[in-house]
Structure 1
Amino acid sequence: MHLDRRDFLKLSAATALAALPGCASLSGTARPRVVVVGAGFGGATCAKYLRRWGPALDVTLIEPNERFVSCPISNWVLGGLRSMDDITHGYGGLARHGITLIRDSVVAIDPDTRTLRTAQGLQIGYERLVLAPGVELLTDSVRGFADAEAAGRVVHAWKAGAQTALLRRQLEAMPDGGTFIVSIPAAPYRCPPGPYERACLVAHYFKQRKPRSKIIVLDANPDIVSKKPLFTDAWNTLYPGMIDYRPNSPALVVDAAKMTVSTDFEDVRGDVLNIVPRQRAAAVCDLVGARNDGNKTWCTVDFATFESTAAPGVHIIGDSMASPLPRSGHMATNQAKVCAGAIVDLLADRAPDPAPVIANTCYSATSDSTAGYVAHVYRLVPGKGYVAAPEGGATTTGDARNFRYAASWAKNIWAEMLS
């Protein structure tokens, strides 16, 4: 079922209990209500499995966007391998599970009364709340970037959507012989291999259409942080001389008029600038004081249930968590299932699994026909957190088989979370 604000208010008026925490559902039946905020990889999957494993639950999913646009595979759009339509999907499949979909944003949460308020003025109660909002991009961490972004001159394209399409148009308009600059923030950040894959696929596009063009990668980290053998092999064999990798080079200042990026050491000029800024847990997490790690940046949780250590009854999954686990779409779906199972157990007065197992698989394309992967299985060990099994690992070179697997992975995981 999909509700806009008018429909929701009509139904809410029919039962005064609808906005009370953990009480009536929208239809007036006494069912525990779980609200999920964010319908990305984590949130959509969690809502689906809450209903699948807890059919008596009233599950509400709040998401401001009309359609899902996948960050994984969005680099394929930049490289000309896929279109925006290929990575954009509707939420209609979730409604078939009995999930109430509300297109809105959360602006206030009261963890004491277990109620939240949306931008459109809805008051919604919950017994358990799941926050799966992704990350907040700190555009002001690079001086001049926020203004350049607002003017449409410089983008991050680190949340797939309009900026992905804009960056693709900028690359298409760039003259042959021009320079594309991509900057990478200090870890941790969403999708560690993503910027390096981006360099590969833009290089693939340049090789086909603009062979005299160059790419400069300004990395705030001292070295490639993920899949180094895979990417260095691709850069050396597929794109020799095209990609200039510069470690220990954080982007500090962007000058959109001069089209320059300044680091500690130099001012670098480019024709297209792609600045990926530092990140932190999304703003909605701060509404319950859940940004509670040492730097007030990420959210610490109980890894068996993903319940916030700062806000009882609030569970946080995906990229906003403080965790050494990879910030990937696949990982978010696995956390979502563990979280959903734990919530179903908690609402049934059962003890959740104390040692859940989760997995991560992440593919990175290096051309229009080659890709590599990293894959690990993790088990929660008391006192140690999630520990990777020794059998996991990563490919050191890309190949055609893994490119086919990457394309299939995307189709399957979108179907898993959205249908």
Structure 2
Amino acid sequence: MKLNRRAFIGTGAAAAAALQAPSVWGAAHGRPKVVVIGGGAGGATAARYLAKDSKGEIDVTLVEPSRQYYTCFFSNLYIGGFRDLSSIAHSYGTLASEYGINVVHDWATGIDRDAKTVTLAGGAVLPYDKLVLSPGIDFVEGAVPGWDLSTQHKMPHAYKAGSQTELLKAQIEAMPEGGRFAMVAPPNPYRCPPGPYERVSMVAHLLKDINPTAKILVVDPKANFSKQALFEEGWAKHYPGMVERIGPDFGGENVSVNADEMTVDIDGVVEKIDVCNVIPAQKAGRICELAGINEGNWAPVDGHTMASRMDESIHVLGDATNQGDMPKSGFSANSQAKVAAMAIRGDLTGSKVFPAKFSNTCWSLIDTDDGVKVGASYQATDEKIAKVDGFVSQTGEDAALRKATYEESLGWYAGITSDMFG
């Protein structure tokens, strides 16, 4: 089925549908309270579905520090010149005005699981009956020697979209003629498995137009990466001789950087570069650690409900989770949010809950109208979210199919952002 805005929203609504039942909460309790932390693909979707489908029976508060949310998905297309930054920016006004969600622009700084309260940086304390955490990612300190958040203005990560994305594009546009762009790619697992390699494609597309003798160096700790054959075919076709990738066999695992000197040290060999995009190893957003629900760097969940395995009153979504076979992506977070919202609504209002099913597709643009995709469907087991079946674009596809794949991604973007923000 060709995916467009209407089809995406309709599919999501069907997956999340649940029959209404009389409320199981007495008047003495008032409306049950759900606090959602994080306003991205997971959190915004969960808040909207909880408010919309409960028809006012649940008091929903969304805590998100940013008044304007920039999607990480499609941010690479801004770098490549295919979109304006404003086209990936979204506000929370509709969630507040049309769905009655209490949107609070502040940082969550603490969670008291015994008292069931969330403390905000501004001093407010929010009680909850159910808590949804969808904080996205933070970076593992020391993952790339020589890089930390204090150097992100010199060597941007641009893996949280917005000002970092603008900075990276401006640096690329200011590169000297014939200069070198370097990317330090992240180890598994990380947000959006094809994301760094779509970014390489978009940087190459931009440079081909404005700086065609420039070179791109990708330093990668992984032996393999998502859609590798498709990207390598595309780079050879569209950007011949521009992209060089150094994997772990040639030192890609042993990398450090010097932001002041603009150098990358690859297994003892120092390379001078002009722009360096450092994408470090990642972990769940810090609020999960503060809540004490992590195992290692990620928060394990029960795939049937997306409830934390540490606390059944807390549901965790998206990039922050240890989610079995599902990749960390915006589509995944949106899919998980509907499962969690249905489970929470069932607990709080007695509405019917259906078995959890999930889906994901990740599109990538390699060059103009050359789109590729990978995806799968999933189901919950007692151990994990398990892959049922999958698909991936093939090398050698004709131009018409690749163009159709790219156009499908545009329909999906319109659909998911409407699904998130109303």
TM-score (ref. length: structure 2): 0.88
CA distance in structure 2 between the aligned counterparts of 1:284 and 1:267, rounded to whole angstroms: 37
Matches within 5 A, 1:236-385: 236-248=236-248, 249-250=252-253, 252-292=255-295, 296-323=296-323, 324-349=325-350, 352-353=353-354, 355-383=355-383, 385=384
Partner of 1:132: 134
| Residue 59 to residue 147, structure 1, CA distance change in 2 (3 Å) | closer
CA distance in structure 1 between the aligned counterparts of 2:105 and 2:264, rounded to whole angstroms: 37
Matched, 1:145 2:147: yes
Task: Check whether the contact 1:185–1:250 (CA below 8 A) recurs between aligned residues.
Answer: no
CA distance in structure 2 between the aligned counterparts of 1:74 and 1:367, rounded to whole angstroms: 15
Deviates more, 1:332-341 or 1:404-413: 404-413
Query: What do residues 208-240 of structure 1 show as CA deviations (whole Å, max 9, x unaligned)?
Result: 1111001001111012x2011210110111111
Partner of 1:167: 168
CA distance in structure 1 between the aligned counterparts of 2:26 and 2:191, rounded to whole angstroms: 37
Query: What do residues 37-95 of structure 1 show as CA deviations (whole Å, max 9, x unaligned)?
Result: 00000000000001122220000000000111010010011111112111111111111
Query: What do residues 148-207 of structure 1 show as CA deviations (whole Å, max 9, x unaligned)?
Result: 625x21110000010100001000100120000011111000011000000111111111
Give 1:257 deviation, angstroms.
Answer: 2.4
| Residue 29 to residue 291, structure 1, CA distance change in 2 (3 Å) | closer
Gaps in structure 1 of 5+ consecutive residues: 1-22
TM-score (ref. length: structure 1): 0.88
Task: Check whether the contact 1:251–1:261 (CA below 8 A) recurs between aligned residues.
Answer: no
Partner of 2:8: none
CA distance in structure 2 between the aligned counterparts of 1:401 and 1:153, rounded to whole angstroms: 38
Partner of 1:414: 417
Partner of 2:406: 403
Give 1:389 deviation, angstroms.
Answer: 3.0
Secondary structure in 2 matching 1:136: strand
Partner of 1:121: 123
CA distance in structure 2 between the aligned counterparts of 1:174 and 1:349, rounded to whole angstroms: 59
Give 1:386 deviation, angstroms.
Answer: 2.8
| Paired residue type of 1:180 | F
Partner of 1:210: 211
| Residue 148 to residue 344, structure 1, CA distance change in 2 (3 Å) | closer
CA distance in structure 2 between the aligned counterparts of 1:406 and 1:394, rounded to whole angstroms: 13
| Residue 347 to residue 192, structure 1, CA distance change in 2 (3 Å) | same
Partner of 2:393: 394
Partner of 2:110: 108
Deviates more, 1:343-352 or 1:133-142: 343-352
Task: Check whether the contact 1:155–1:163 (CA below 8 A) recurs between aligned residues.
Answer: yes
CA distance in structure 1 between the aligned counterparts of 2:179 and 2:411, rounded to whole angstroms: 34
Give 1:103 deviation, angstroms.
Answer: 0.3
Secondary structure in 2 matching 1:199: helix
Task: Check whether the contact 1:281–1:320 (CA below 8 A) recurs between aligned residues.
Answer: yes
Give 1:361 deviation, angstroms.
Answer: 1.1
Secondary structure in 1 matching 2:145: coil
Deviates more, 1:262-271 or 1:326-335: 262-271
Partner of 2:193: 192
CA distance in structure 1 between the aligned counterparts of 2:268 and 2:416, rounded to whole angstroms: 42
Task: Check whether the contact 2:304–2:381 (CA below 8 A) recurs between aligned residues.
Answer: no
Task: Check whether the contact 1:291–1:299 (CA below 8 A) recurs between aligned residues.
Answer: yes
| Residue 62 to residue 148, structure 1, CA distance change in 2 (3 Å) | closer
Q: How large is the RMSD of aligned CA atoms in angstroms?
A: 2.1
CA distance in structure 2 between the aligned counterparts of 1:101 and 1:273, rounded to whole angstroms: 36
| Paired residue type of 2:414 | K
CA distance in structure 1 between the aligned counterparts of 2:205 and 2:147, rounded to whole angstroms: 27
| Paired residue type of 2:124 | L
Give 1:263 deviation, angstroms.
Answer: 2.8
CA distance in structure 1 between the aligned counterparts of 2:352 and 2:114, rounded to whole angstroms: 23
CA distance in structure 1 between the aligned counterparts of 2:278 and 2:319, rounded to whole angstroms: 19
CA distance in structure 2 between the aligned counterparts of 1:111 and 1:50, rounded to whole angstroms: 21
| Paired residue type of 1:191 | C
Task: Check whether the contact 1:111–1:312 (CA below 8 A) recurs between aligned residues.
Answer: no
